[in-house]
Chains A and B, each alone.
Chain A
């Protein structure tokens, strides 16, 4: 196990290196230059500033400089969004908003998806299940920003039931009700996917040999679904978690923009638009690390959830 972990960590470090190199090169070769704001008349002392933070060095030197800083946990300073501010500060301020929204959305999705997925798997051929599936496809097809705008316009703008802006009510402070609309908007988009995923996983389990054996012993549909199939969805659900977690940490540009949430998605969009390379790199590092860690954790959890899953290297030994 220890050897496996070391190999995976080394592979992850190499992958991380390649991702950051790719993002750095892509960010630097894009046409354009760091801009302070979008005002036409801005002619600030940008060049002197950029020189002082090594942003005008050649790409290899610039990347080496960034890498050596990263090794010392120094991700540099912003060069366009808020010149001079540490990237870690900017990311650190935005991260809690994105994490909160992501977790709320994840929990909401699970709370709705698991019961609905189970119901859908209970009688998969029934009219209700088919109608539900059609509705879910429709929801899945709607763009997230459209759903968000409808919810905002309807529930906040016209009915006044909830705050329009995501994080605060009237600029006075954080209000729990402010989270409802962004959470709903973000959840609805992934709800259909998770329900379908959970339903098909349950159906696969219900058709597995252990379920057939249980049925042969006289167990009913309910007992098979809840007692056997449900327990065996653990491995696929771990995969799902591994897929969703990086998205949670990466933030949603659309939702954060529509509801004015000061999260990572918005930060990344603005940093890319204003060519703030250090901030883009910091966020790329965070997202890539989250993806790699989530994948690693998912792989490890597979083994915990299902001891039959072979470790890398074991297959060759068995052969």
Chain B
């Protein structure tokens, strides 16, 4: 995901984002002027030579490092505990899953050499690769898979993680040391998804789920890279696993650098201290991506995210109960204008939960139009009119006025919130804004203690709206709106039991149509990841799956001998 640096306060005051951006621009202009004045020095910099494209020819060879920079640091490298993106990004290289996605988001074998699904979708048989060894030299076998599943069960008392990964998994057995049989209590079409997310852990290095373990800091896996070192707040270094079952990766090392400041990331990309990193749409708008003077190329991927404004449908005054009100609020927000002006057109306008560019997206659905007059008519129809002449419409139990929460440290959320505030004010709806840090925001939205909230969700490459809008997911789950729809529930449940791809696609389309009509949340935008990749890296064609969240991804990257930077 393209991650925005948390803006750091100065020691004098806490500037907001616009202040900081203004000062940064001023800093940039100042240094530009200085650079112009030092033309002689500039002419000696030789940037053009450094930034030349790698030679077109070259043998596919081993060597060199990839230095990736990110603003976030993993909390743990225990791949079973790891749920957040930075940790999973490292785990995808150190550990293996039984199966994975290829670059087209199709399931392929990984640690399992092959797998079979039973005809009734209640059983999967994995045929494990033989001769695979853990990074510490022990042999991998079926017991490691059994142990992993048992550990996931023990992770939390409510088995929330187990449910998210394996759903109705009833039993996992090992008929022999290289076969795993997973039986489900009912047909479960998403079963493969869970196995793609579950990193297999070494059973010979057991740990207690609620206690610290050496694996938290130094993971042992079977993956293409082995863990070498983690310097807190600075970097994680992985080195090529020369004994990897699929052959050693072509790069010698993968270095994950933690750089909290996006300006530093950009400068480091420019001088090639960093090879791969995320950029913001602002940067892309200001620089032509095919600029030959840049030592990196720029790729834009679907971020696998959706930006929404949740309405709390259980809010005591019932402000958002009526779908017409929710539709009206959506029609008040100029989402096209927002993605154009704030994201320079790189982000898409969201129609529902799923990006139309990835699997399951429905390009035939159109976003609700930006139509303030139509929105006001809908509010009138819903009986939300200004009864006391104070300029604010009145709902059944008082004025149509609510607080919209946003995460103050998250990128762009304040922009969305402010846009809705202004648009709603013009239609007689009062929106009060409240920015909270994520640490304060999280308990509010998960505790259902809000009226409306801007929020972003990360979705899988094969997203399932069940987790976000099925009525069973209210409370402990991710249905933060409290949306209840029997029709949607039936569709979501049927899809979970349906393995046929064509039927699943049509069910997913029906679910999105339902969400589009009911608008349980205001679907704002579909973020994109903007990734800079140093030109010396030869990569296989990159697709909408992105650059790392599939297999073998980085393990296939290579650098021609003449272009190597690190030895």
Contacts and interface: CB of A to CB of B under 8 A. Distances in A.
A32 B260 contact: no
B211 interface: yes
Interface stretch (A153-161, A209-217, A308-316): A153-161
Contact of B155 (A45, A259, A269): A45
A259 B155 CA distance: 37
Contacts of B273: 163-165, 169-171
B264 interface: yes
Interface in B8-36: 8-12, 23-24, 26-28, 30-32, 34-35
Contacts of B446: 43
Contacts of B440: 30-32
Interface in A113-134: none
B443 A153 contact: no
Interface string A253-282: 110011110110011011001110000000
Contacts of A160: 45, 47, 271
A318 interface: no
A281 to B, nearest CB: 16
B263 A258 contact: yes
Contacts of B23: 143, 145-146, 149
B105 interface: no
Interface string A274-311: 11000000000000000000000000000000000000
B439 interface: yes
Contacts of B24: 149
B76 A149 contact: no
Given A80-B75, A83-B76, A254-B10, A154 B409 contact: no
Contacts of B6: 38, 273
Chain B residues touching A, range: 35 or more
B443 A253 contact: no
B10 A145 contact: yes
A80 B442 CA distance: 14
Interface in B29-85: 30-32, 34-35, 38, 41-42, 45, 47, 65, 67, 72-76, 81, 83-85
B437 A273 contact: yes
A254 B11 contact: yes
B267 to A, nearest CB: 3
Interface stretch (B327-335, B373-381, B453-461, B543-551): B453-461
Contacts, number: 220
A269 B437 CA distance: 13
A90 interface: yes
A153 B216 CA distance: 36
The list of the 4 closest CB pairs from A to B, nearest first, reads A84-B212, A262-B233, A157-B267, A32-B439
B409 A38 contact: yes
A197 interface: no
B283 interface: no
Contacts of B274: 165, 171
Contacts of B267: 152-153, 156-157, 164
B227 to A, nearest CB: 15
Given A45-B156, A143-B12, A144-B10, A260 B258 contact: yes
A33 B257 CA distance: 27
Interface string A13-35: 00000000000000000111111
Nearest to A30: B440
Given A84-B213, A84-B216, A164-B268, A143 B10 contact: yes
Given A160-B45, A266-B260, A31 B457 contact: no
Interface in A196-232: none
B178 interface: no
21 contacts: A33-B443, A35-B438, A45-B209, A82-B76, A84-B212, A149-B23, A149-B263, A158-B32, A158-B35, A159-B41, A160-B45, A168-B235, A170-B67, A171-B237, A171-B257, A171-B273, A253-B9, A254-B9, A262-B258, A263-B233, A273-B437
A36 B31 contact: no
B458 A35 contact: no
Interface in A19-70: 30-45, 48-49, 52
A49 to B, nearest CB: 6
B493 interface: no
A32 B443 contact: yes
Contacts of B74: 37
A39 B31 contact: no
Contacts of A168: 234-235
A49 B210 CA distance: 6
A153 B263 contact: yes
A82 B218 CA distance: 13
Given A45-B210, A164-B267, 15 more contacts: A42-B84, A44-B156, A52-B211, A82-B216, A83-B216, A84-B76, A93-B233, A94-B232, A143-B23, A158-B35, A159-B35, A159-B45, A260-B257, A262-B258, A274-B439
A101 to B, nearest CB: 13
Contact of B233 (A41, A159, A266): A266
A259 B258 CA distance: 11
Contacts of A149: 23-24, 27-28, 263
A81 interface: yes
B75 A81 contact: yes
B10 A153 contact: no
A260 B259 contact: yes
Interface in B231-287: 231-235, 237, 255, 257-261, 263-264, 266-268, 270-274
Interface in A61-98: 77, 80-85, 90, 93-94
Interface string B422-457: 000000000000001111111100100000000111
A252 interface: yes
Interface string B143-173: 0000000000001110011000000000000
B264 A260 contact: yes
B217 interface: yes
B205 to A, nearest CB: 15
A39 B85 contact: yes
Nearest to A145: B10
Contact of A154 (B35, B85, B216, B478): B35
Q: Give the residue among B41, B67, B233, B446 with the most A Cβ atoms within 10 A.
A: B233
B72 to A, nearest CB: 6
A262 B87 CA distance: 18
Contacts of A33: 439, 442-443
A185 B25 CA distance: 18
A165 B71 CA distance: 13
B34 A154 contact: yes
Q: Give the residue among B45, B86, B210, B213 with the most A Cβ atoms within 10 A.
A: B210
Contacts of B272: 170
A157 B8 contact: no
